[in-house]
Structure 1
Amino acid sequence: MDSVLSLISGHYNYWMGIVLMMLGLYVAISRGNLIKKVVGLNLFQTSVFMLYISMGKVTGGTAPILTGKPDTIYSNPLPHVLILTAIVVGISTTALALALIVRIREAYGTIEEDEIAAIERQFEFPKDRVA
């Protein structure tokens, strides 16, 4: 039992990343509201960011500034740089998604998936008709 607790407590940030990832995936899949889907995807994306940053942490490591000491342990800055880029891309993708949701709301009068699908089915042409 102690080994299980030490495994969980020793990797707390990984477990929280996994919990947030599954929560975001659940919200994105289970909800029909387009805004809630975007929020779920953002939660999923944030959990991935946390996971990558957690992997970049080196216990006892310092910033990669050369000091001349041969036994210095350095942290890898690459995950942090990649996540900064991913955050910018994520914000712009979220802005685009919200702009599309506004246009969908103007066109259909709703942002619920099932209502949009019902409206689309009303205007569907029969398959045997040629346009």
Structure 2
Amino acid sequence: MSASLTLVVLMAIMYGTGVYVMLEKSLTRILIGFLLVGNATNLLIFLMSGRAGDSPIIDGTTTGESAVDPVPQVLMLTAIVINFGVTAFILALIYRSWWLANLGDEGDDVTVDDEDVIDAEEAEVYHASLDEDDEAVRIQLLGAGDSSDDEEKGAGR
């Protein structure tokens, strides 16, 4: 397959537009630019993949000369997955930025209800009892070995 001039021009326009749009400050424009660059990369891989031919699955009827190289297909699939992951990350950044911008003077502070204070006190009592339990287990398991360890430490001084 020879590269179509139309596809090459389209790929160049997508790269140029994507890079130009990504230079803006807005996260939404960065996302759009990244999507354009990702799709232009897929088009580049497609253009450079070579001629059309039979599927690369060896079933006895496919000869080596007529089979298509599967590596560009794998590269394109990998580029799509990476593009999707980065797009999801940028969308999360956009949402977080929007959420923080709409909070105004409150910032990231959350109002505390009386129920939250009671829950926090209960959690503190629970954690204190866990600490006491840990200390009791430590004394019970290590209690017999503490006296001999202390003697050895004292003798070493």
Shorter-chain TM-score tier: 0.5 to 0.7
Shift of 1:53: 1.4
Distance 1:71 1:82 in 2: 21
Structure 2 CA distance for partners of 1:10 and 1:91, relative to 1, 3 Å: closer
Identity %: 27
2:85 pairs with 1:92: yes
The amino acid that maps onto 1:97 is I
Shift of 1:109: 3.7
Map 1:55-70; keep pairs closer than 5 Å.
55-59=48-52, 61-66=53-58, 67=60
Could you state the TM-score of these two structures normalised by the residue count of structure 1?
A: 0.64
Distance 1:47 1:75 in 2: 22
Match of 2:13 among 1, 15, 19: 19
CA RMSD, aligned part only?
A: 2.6
Shift of 1:56: 1.0
Map 1:1-131; keep pairs closer than 5 Å.
10-29=4-23, 31-59=24-52, 61-66=53-58, 67=60, 72-109=65-102
Gaps of 5+ in 1: 1-8, 111-131
Higher relative contact order (CA 8 A, sep 6+): 1
Q: CA contact under 8 A between 2:38 and 2:79: conserved in structure 1?
A: no
Q: CA contact under 8 A between 1:58 and 1:74: conserved in structure 2?
A: no
Q: Which 10-residue stretch deviates more, 10-19 or 37-46? A: 10-19
Shift of 1:69: 6.7
Gaps of 5+ in 2: 104-157
Could you state the TM-score of these two structures normalised by the residue count of structure 2?
A: 0.55
Structure 2 CA distance for partners of 1:10 and 1:38, relative to 1, 3 Å: closer
Q: How many residues align?
A: 101
Q: Give deviations 1:6-44, integer Å, cap 9, x for gaps.
A: xxx843322211111111111111x33211211111111
Distance 1:71 1:96 in 2: 42
Distance 1:34 1:83 in 2: 25
Shift of 1:68: 5.6
User: Larger % of helix: which?
Assistant: 2
